Each structure stands twice: as C-alpha cells, then as structure tokens.
Structure 1
C-alpha cells in the first residue's frame, strides 16, 4: 500500500486507498458486476453459468463473491462474450486533466 501523504482524490477510489494495481482491480470489478447481473437476470446457477462461460464452478463462485485476484480481465471479458455481450476496448489519447489510465464502463 502506498502512503496517503497529501494524496489528492481521483476518480478511482481503489487508487485513492493505495490498492496495488488499482486500475486493473477497478476494471475487473466493473466487469464482474455486469457478469453477476447477467447471471442473476437469467436465473443461472453457478454450475449453469460455468457451463455457458467455460469457467469452472469455483471460478464462477469467486466472481459471484467479487474475489477477483486469480481471475484475469481477459477471462471476465470472455465470460461476458459467452453471455452474448459485446465487449469493446477503446484506445485514445489521454486528456490532460485526467492523464493516462484504464476506464471500463458496463
């Protein structure tokens, strides 16, 4: 964890808290929220979700509980595609006010 000495707030609360790899963790969380929303909306069990997404049931359980340390961004994106979602990655120059970074919207 980083020191919080004179740290100004940002748009990423995980970064503000000094969490390592905050941008990646934030992106994973956004994708996991969308994945969990789809699983709930479709009334899928963890086993059914695993069969559809190609994940193991324990991995689906980790996503359901937002334990995302051992799950890659790529795996989360692939799971969303398996649930008929369009995943887009957009690269553009950073705006000066916000600087370079990663943003995920679902």
Structure 2
C-alpha cells in the first residue's frame, strides 16, 4: 500500500530543492511566457527574436528547463510580450517571521 502525503504547494520544496522558492517563482513566470507564445502561435525562432533570447533557451524554457534564465530576464520577456509587471513590497503578517515571494497574474 502507498501512503499519500499532501504536498506543500511547492513541488521544489517537497523535493527538498535548495532554491525552492526561486524555482517556483520562475516556474510561474515561464508558464505564463509559454502560454502567451503558444496563444500567438509563434515558432521558437520567432519567439527568440521577440524575447531577446537564443532559440535554444526558448526551447529549454518551453520544456521546463529554466535554471539558466534569471527572474529578471523572465520579467523582461513578459514586458516584451506586452505585459505590465508590477512588483509590490509589503510587510509580512506578524504570524510569519519571513516574507515570501509569489507570482499573481491578473
């Protein structure tokens, strides 16, 4: 019999990845970038030209391999795709000792 364990909501944390928070943020950003590219029916070469990335990096990102792409570059990609990106810094609730980083799409 298998024991089912509820996940934390961050697969990278569940797998004990050292940079789990950063990886989850990048996964959300990459997912949004890829969904925009697919909706526009762009080839990887066309996407590379729009995003200012080499085609192999676009290919990697579309396959979930985005370790070599910074969060800053991903935010730039979203801007190049016609998206406004806002970064809001606010105090964490007293119930938490540390703040957290999350991505919210409007």
What TM-score, normalized by structure 2, do the two folds share? Answer: 0.84
The corresponding residue for 1:78 is 76
Instruction: Report the Cα distance in structure 1 between the residues aligned to 2:89 and 2:102, rounded to whole angstroms.
Output: 10
Seen in structure 2, the aligned counterparts of structure 1 residues 70 and 19 have a Cα distance that, compared at 3 Å, is: same
Q: Residue by residue, what CA displacement relative to the aligned partner does 1:66-94 show, whole Å, maximum 9, x if unpaired?
A: 10111100111101100001111111011
CA-atom RMSD in angstroms:
1.8
- Corresponding residue to 1:38 among 31, 36, 39: 36
Count of residue pairs the alignment pairs up: 99
Cα drift, residue 105 of structure 1: 1.7
Instruction: Report the Cα distance in structure 2 between the residues aligned to 1:89 and 1:43, rounded to whole angstroms.
Output: 28
Instruction: Report the Cα distance in structure 1 between the residues aligned to 2:33 and 2:62, rounded to whole angstroms.
Output: 9
Instruction: Report the Cα distance in structure 1 between the residues aligned to 2:94 and 2:15, rounded to whole angstroms.
Output: 23
Cα drift, residue 104 of structure 1: 1.1
The corresponding residue for 1:104 is 103
Unaligned runs of 5+ in 2: 1-6
What TM-score, normalized by structure 1, do the two folds share? Answer: 0.84
Report SS of the residue matched to 1:48: helix
Cα drift, residue 10 of structure 1: 4.0
Unaligned runs of 5+ in 1: 1-8
Cα drift, residue 15 of structure 1: 1.7
